[in-house]
Structure formats: C-alpha cells, structure tokens
Amino acid sequence: MNHFFPTAGAVIVLATTCVACDKVKPPQPQLQQPPATSGQVNPQGEREAFSQTAQKDLDDLRKVVAGLRTRAETANLQSRVQLGEEVEKLEAELGEAQQRLMELKSASAESWGQLRESFGKSLGKLKDRIGSFPKNAG
C-alpha cells in the first residue's frame, strides 16, 4: 500500500498529460494569400479568354456549316437550290460574326463591353439558324 499512492499518482499524471497532448495541434503551414485585388477582374485576361472561346465557337460552327453544305449538295434536285441558298446565308452570317470578333479583339476598353454584347447576340442568332436548318436535307 506504501507504493500504491505514488504509483497511482504517477499513472494519473501520465494519463492527464497524454490526454492533454491529444488536444494540442501542431502548427499548420500558412498558405500564401492571393494578391489583393480591387474587385476587378484582369480586363486583358478576360478579353483574351473571351476571344479564344469565341474563336473556338466560330471554328466549330464553320465545321457544322461545311457539313450542312455537303448535305445540301447531296440533296435531291428539288431541295438542293433552297438548301444551298440557306447555307450561303449561314456562311455570310459566319463571315460577319468573324468580322465582329476581329473588331472586338481590337476594340478600346470603353467600347469592348458593348461590342462583346453585340457579338454574343449575333453568335446566338447564328447558332439558332444553324439549329433550325432542315433536318431532312439530303
């Protein structure tokens, strides 16, 4: 019994220390904070990203229109003329959209937003017209 209290005390102190160590967390590494911005997106980066996306969209639409031209050329004689005219209109609109994109790329900061909106509308109309191309062509 003489050794019981000192041994029990040592066990209690050791247990308390172990429990307390579980609650202590090692210091976490500090992550580098991004540079503070004034709430604006990098306008040049936004313009470049938009231009690249728009050019990819136009390239994809150009491929679709080329496929529609092929379908129109292989259509029966009766619908070949009508479908050919529709494809020519689509190609003209595609050329206008490409021209608007070129204007957009060289636009001033003041006019860029307005030209972007105009380009977006014309691209939307072109996509709608391509989507409404007769499905039974060919």
Task: Give tens-digit pLDDT for 35-90.
Answer: 544 445 567 788 889 999 999 999 999 999 999 999 888 888 878 888 889 999 99
Give the distance, in angstroms, between the CA of residue 5 and the centroid of all CA atoms in the same chain.
71
| Cα gap 86→90, rounded to integer Å | 6
Higher pLDDT, 1 or 126: 126
Instruction: Please check whether residue 13 lies inside any domain of the structure.
Output: no
Instruction: Please check whether residue 110 lies inside any domain of the structure.
Output: yes
For residue 39, what is the DSSP state? Answer: S
Total domains in the chain come to 1
Query: 91 lies in which domain range?
Result: 43-131
Instruction: Please check whether residue 35 lies inside any domain of the structure.
Output: no
Given a contact cutoff of 8 angstroms between Cβ atoms, the answer to whether 72 and 60 are in contact is no
Instruction: pLDDT band for 107, please (50, 70, 90 cuts).
Output: confident
Instruction: Please check whether residue 138 lies inside any domain of the structure.
Output: no
Mean pLDDT, range 83-103, rounded to an integer: 92
φ, ψ (nearest 5 deg) of residue 30: -80, 125
